[in-house]
Structure 1
């Protein structure tokens, strides 16, 4: 009896073990691995079933709290818990139960489970989301004609080197989306006639680019000089036209008529009166002298005839 009981217990244990193994195997086989580029949108769908009474999305990110979206058909109501505005139904959940994530970030990585309930039972679909950060390299000339190299990658930061060797120290900036941007300015005394070459080294990116900023900088200076010369010429012509236009106006203005002085009889009288007075005085003086001389020449006792 005891041996039979032990055999029965052992058989049950084996059945439970096999059942758990099968469930685990089926669950692992049911994981759908999806990937999305950083900053892009991604969509995940639910199992296709009819006569659905309830749909639930359960989201377990690597960092942060669990997020839940639910919809009940009988009450035509939706619920949302701890989910950002970027995570929502793609459309109306009564006829499209797909989940959409807008502008995917590194924090969205994790497991996403859709559970559909109908009269036949509960049906699940599991997703594992991986966010891919596409590395980016940029090489350009700044406003002063100096080569600048940028590399945006996932942590850790990329390494930037120059040929010929640069004396500048790269600057690294970390972002909330889990990426790092490294910026390096080319600074060398001489390039030996060769274009500066930027070399980016990273686990996800190995790229080399060359650039010639001297010619582009000269082209910019030449373009500015041409524009300034054109503006100076236009201004000079405008000034000449203005002076010519207003100068002709001054030339065509009529001269004022000559003013002929007028004399009045009163003025003549004023001018004659001083001369008349002078003559009268001269006559008086002459008469006085004549009388005196005549008296001196007459004998005593006689007076000059009047």
Structure 2
């Protein structure tokens, strides 16, 4: 019995020793990393001296795997099936960094680095997530409700309102992994003041404000404008009417021109003696003519 117990203890000790050895030789740590689309991302390996070999293994969610390696004995770097945007800086006595320029959605995935030296193998893993900032817009719909939209963001944005309100929110997912969130402010008060939309996202925090007047308020405004124009047109018509009829009264009450009357009378007086003389001459001429014809005189 005692011998069997000793054997079990020895076996457990051996297992613990093996596990400790493996833990010493191989150390694996994992990190989550986020990069904004269009920006650069840098990931580093564990900093170890006298590294004989460094290897980056990339497993993107889209496309095939990519490998980058560095051998110190040959001072040589190899790249297999990797984009030109992915590069490594393998320099002794420094961190072995992997840089991705202009990060895109296709770069999302798992990145693993292995550093080998005399002390053992050391691993560093990253799970890269690509963030896409949403396009923000705030407007009034046909019912004069404020609508806040965070379009094509990744992950989905969160929207809240000031003042607080039981808003209606709709979420639409797209094929490229982005999400559009639309929130409608549903207050029905006719005295609505300015409302503020607050958008929370991993890439930004932004607020926008807008005032959407109710249809009733717009109707009152349109009626007021129409009445104003009507009053102005009526006032101008009254002024034109009095101006027109006032001028006619002036023409009717204007005294006759006496100088013109005197002139006409003078002309008549001067013409009358001449007219009498001509009439007399015509009478004499007619009498003589009749006499001559009666006597058959030449």
Shorter chain as denominator, the TM-score bin is 0.3 to 0.5
Higher strand residue share: 2
Give the TM-score normalised by the residue count of structure 1. Answer: 0.46
Give the TM-score normalised by the residue count of structure 2. Answer: 0.47
Larger Rg: 1
